[in-house]
């Protein structure tokens, strides 16, 4: 089983873990920086997270298919392209949502999104690298256990 052989259940787990870890880090920080309640920022984060999870599953399925078709390996360049394309898609979806929820201009929402981008770009890279690394170790252990039976 390689890195791109993921079933729907695993894609859901991946997306939920990604968003839950991000929200735990980002909501308290955004609340402080935006001078908004944790509840208000948490609600926005939940809406954004839901949109991002759906995008995560769709984007990663498409990216994995592209990766397989081109015979690409998950090099630093491929991981950087993955993170940039993923975050670019989120900007298009989430700036209007943030502008509406916070009652700010699209420009202000875009600046807020740039702050999120500054957080999520390295976060996306590190989270996916760790996930892939831990997944590979789990697969190796399962294969070893199956071979010993």
- pLDDT per residue over 97-109, tens digit each? 999 999 999 999 9
Give the model's pLDDT for residue 4.
Answer: 59
User: Which residue is it, tokens 């670019």?
Assistant: 88
Q: How far is Cα 16 from Cα 92, in angstroms, rounded to an integer?
A: 21
Reading the block at residue 30, the tokens are: 């955004």
Please enumerate in sequence order all residues whose Cβ is within 8 A of that of 63, keeping only pairs 6 or more positions apart, or say none: 82, 85, 86
DSSP tag of 22? H
pLDDT tens, position by position, 110-142 = 998 888 888 888 998 999 999 999 999 999 999
Give the model's pLDDT for residue 6.
Answer: 80
Residue 41, judged by CB atoms within 10 A of its CB (0-12, 13-18, 19+), counts as buried
- Please state whether the predicted TM-score (pTM) of the whole model is above 0.85: no
> Could you give the maximum distance between any two Cα atoms of the chain, in Å?
62
Residue 130, judged by CB atoms within 10 A of its CB (0-12, 13-18, 19+), counts as exposed
pLDDT tens, position by position, 42-78 = 999 899 888 988 898 899 999 999 999 999 988 999 9
Give the model's pLDDT for residue 11.
Answer: 86
2 pLDDT band, cuts 50/70/90, is: low
Give the model's pLDDT for residue 19.
Answer: 83
Cβ–Cβ < 8 Å for 111, 98: no
Cβ–Cβ < 8 Å for 109, 96: yes
């Amino acid at each position: 089983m390689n890195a791109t052989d993921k079933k729907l259940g695993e894609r859901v787990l991946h997306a939920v873990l990604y968003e839950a870890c991000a929200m735990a880090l980002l909501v308290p920080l955004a609340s402080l920086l935006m001078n908004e309640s944790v509840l208000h920022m948490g609600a926005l984060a939940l809406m954004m997270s839901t949109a991002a999870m759906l995008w995560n599953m769709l984007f990663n399925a498409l990216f994995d298919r592209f990766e397989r078709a081109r015979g690409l390996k998950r090099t630093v360049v491929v991981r950087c392209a993955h993170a940039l394309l993923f975050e670019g898609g989120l900007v298009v979806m989430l700036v209007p949502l943030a502008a509406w929820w916070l009652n700010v201009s699209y420009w202000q929402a875009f600046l807020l999104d740039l702050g999120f981008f500054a957080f999520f770009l390295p976060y996306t890279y590190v989270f996916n690298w760790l996930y892939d690394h831990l997944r590979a170790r789990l697969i190796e252990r399962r294969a070893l256990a199956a071979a010993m039976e």
